[in-house]
Amino acid sequence: MQIAAVVGSCVSTIKNERMVGMKLLIVREATVEGEILGEPYVAVDTVDAGQGDLVLVSHGSGSRQTVQTLDRSVDATIVGVIELLEIGRRNTYEAR
Amino acid sequence: MQIAAVVGSCVSTIKNERMVGMKLLIVREATVEGEILGEPYVAVDTVDAGQGDLVLVSHGSGSRQTVQTLDRSVDATIVGVIELLEIGRRNTYEAR
Amino acid sequence: MQIAAVVGSCVSTIKNERMVGMKLLIVREATVEGEILGEPYVAVDTVDAGQGDLVLVSHGSGSRQTVQTLDRSVDATIVGVIELLEIGRRNTYEAR
Amino acid sequence: MQIAAVVGSCVSTIKNERMVGMKLLIVREATVEGEILGEPYVAVDTVDAGQGDLVLVSHGSGSRQTVQTLDRSVDATIVGVIELLEIGRRNTYEAR
Amino acid sequence: MQIAAVVGSCVSTIKNERMVGMKLLIVREATVEGEILGEPYVAVDTVDAGQGDLVLVSHGSGSRQTVQTLDRSVDATIVGVIELLEIGRRNTYEAR
């Protein structure tokens, strides 16, 4: 799963019926310190994540293995909010 | 899902039977401001998107989770037209 | 689907039983003008494509959604021959 | 499967129900000598891997082909601890 | 399918039960002349490939469409040994 930061949100009213009723957030890949690395993309939120949270994003068919995304036409889902990242014995990130 | 801009269209008459009857558009990855980033590729349109629209593209097996693309030999489908992208509290993109 | 150019062919006699009887072509990602961009790789041909054709290649599980490739151990299939690519109102590529 | 090094661990308490009860490690792609190459990401551990181990990571739908990860919303799983890597006739890596 | 060269082998004794009994080789993406391009990774061998062979590697769910890899937790399988690669009318690679 990718380490990513929630940076914004996406509104889409004209969409496929398999996209209706899902909360769409804009995320970017992040380092273990929470610094942003990658280009923005859109992921479905299944854990009530918020702006600034560091999250775990599951890509591909794994993104549809949740109650909220089953059989949906999605390819990226936020599946967890990260509390703590530890590299070696050092905490590199702790959620506030 | 990737943020992408619709930049053109593709005509293919000699094709596999699992490709018949679908509208094929040329899209390119875009930034949250709607600026073009990536190389052009072809995606199936399921939302009547048009030239210049910013759209959500689902890749991989997720691209076949629509009525129009079920069991089709496709790997990229436009699943929504983007109305609004918001980063922090700032609107970076609004559809005209 | 990726826009790609057919640049050659591949012969493999020692192969898995799920690879027998398929025509294997060498393709490379191409621009909308038909210029070659990417590294060569091998795709199954399902549309009788030929040297120099610009084609649509479906990757991943979508590559097995054809009569010829169902349940085969493949990850890339040529699913259409491109006739015309149009960007804005300009034709960038027309098949001869 | 990717050759990767285990560099840390990840704690996530707010997560999707399909993520509960799995051990999440931070891994990075590595060379055949065990040198770190790539950006950190999170993989499920199914083989009791530890800090510093060189491991095999399976990505995509293959990551869910284990008893521990079946039907889970994951896209990367550690499926083996590497004992030995041999390039030509030279051992490039041996586990301690 | 990726054109790749077999460069070595991998031993893993501590592994997930879905990884038992498979021959694991180290491969690297190669050009149509057989020159090495990419980073080493591990693929399951289903065709008795050997050191120095140029092979076809199927990635993702396609890698499990063989008798040897069905339902295994793998994401890359060697599905053919390449005999001949031809670009235009020139042979760029012939197996010895």
Predicted confidence (pLDDT) per residue in C19-77, tens digit: 999 999 999 999 999 999 999 999 999 999 999 999 999 999 999 999 999 999 999 99
* D51: contact with A, CB 8 A cutoff: yes
d(CA C59, CA C49): 17
Residue type, E83: E
User: A21 to chain B nearest CA, in Å?
Assistant: 12
- pLDDT band with cut points at 50, 70 and 90 for residue D96: confident
pLDDT of E42 = 98
Question: pLDDT category, B5, cuts 50, 70, 90?
Answer: very high
Q: Is B20 on the interface with C (CB under 8 A)?
A: no
β-pairing verdict for C14-15 and B90-94: unpaired
Closest CA to D30 of D92, D73, D88: D92
Q: Tell me whether A22 touches chain D (CB under 8 Å).
A: no
Distances B45 to B21, B53, C52, C93, D20 between C-alpha atoms, Å = 11, 12, 27, 21, 36
From D32, D62, D87, residue closest to E64, measured CB to CB: D62
How many domains does the structure of chain D reveal? 1
**Contact across the interface for A1 and D51, Cβ inside 8 Å:** no
Q: What is the full DSSP assignment across A28-91?
A: EEB-TTS-B-S--EEEEESS---TT-EEEEEEGGGGG-STTTTT-S-SEEEEEE--EEEETTEE
Q: What is the pLDDT of residues A45-92, one digit of tens each?
A: 999 999 999 999 999 999 999 999 999 999 999 999 999 999 999 999
ipTM over 0.90: yes
For range E83-88, the mean pLDDT:
97
Verify whether the Cβ–Cβ distance D82 to E12 is below 8 Å: yes
Residues of D in contact with A29 (CB under 8 A): 39
pLDDT digits (tens, 9 = 90+) for B35-91: 999 999 999 999 999 999 999 999 999 999 999 999 999 999 999 999 999 999 999
With 90 as the cut, is the pLDDT of residue E49 above it? yes
For residue A19, the SS3 value is helix
**CA-based nearest residue in chain B for residue A51:** B88
CB burial string D19-34: b at 16+ within 10 A, e below: beebebbbbbbbbbeb
CA distances from C1 to A46, B41, B59, D16 (A): 29, 6, 9, 31
Q: Is D32 on the interface with E (CB under 8 A)?
A: yes
Which band of pLDDT confidence, cut at 50, 70 and 90, is reported for residue A25?
very high
D31 touches chain E (CB under 8 A): yes
Domain that holds residue A31: 2-94
The span from the CA of B18 to the CA of B82, in Å, is 28
Question: Are the C-beta atoms of B54 and B30 separated by less than 8 Å?
Answer: yes
Q: Which two tokens stand for residue A50?
A: 């918020």
Residue B21 has pLDDT above 90, yes or no: yes
C-E CB pairs within 8 A amount to: 109
Q: Parallel, antiparallel, or unpaired for β E41-45 and E76-81?
A: parallel
E8-44 as b/e: b if 16+ CB within 10 A: bbbebeebbebbeebebbbbbbbbbebeeeeebbbbb
Residue E43 binned pLDDT confidence (cut-offs 50, 70, 90): very high
- By the CB < 8 Å criterion, does D76 face chain A? yes
Can you give the pLDDT at residue E96?
85
In the prediction, which pLDDT does D64 show?
98
From residue A21, alpha-carbon distances to A16, A24, B66, B80, D46 in Å are: 11, 9, 15, 12, 34
What is the pLDDT at residue B67? 96
**pLDDT at E11 exceeding the cut of 90:** yes
Residue in chain C closest to E31 (alpha carbons) equals C40
What distance, in Å, lies between the first and last C-alpha atoms of chain E? 22
Angle, CA D8 vertex, CA A54 and CA A67 arms, to 5°: 45
Kindly indicate the confidence band of residue D11, based on its pLDDT and cuts at 50, 70 and 90.
very high
User: Pick the residue with more confidence: D22 or C96?
Assistant: D22
- Contact call for A76 and B29, based on CB within 8 A: no
CA atoms within 13 A on the CB side of E45: 22
Residue C57 confidence (pLDDT): 98
- CA angle, E76 as apex, E74 and E78 as ends, to 5°? 120
Nearest CA in chain D to E41: D2
* Chain A residue nearest residue B45, CA to CA: A16
Can you spell out the DSSP letters for B35-84?
-B-S--EEEEESS---TT-EEEEEEGGGGG-STTTTT-S-SEEEEEE--E
Are E60 and D62 an interchain contact pair (Cβ–Cβ within 8 Å)? yes
Q: Tokens for D6?
A: 């285990």
Residue A96: predicted pLDDT: 85
Give the pLDDT confidence score for residue C96 in this predicted structure: 85
* CATH code, D41: 2.40.50.220
Q: Determine whether the interchain pair A1/D72 forms a contact, defined as Cβ–Cβ distance below 8 Å.
A: no
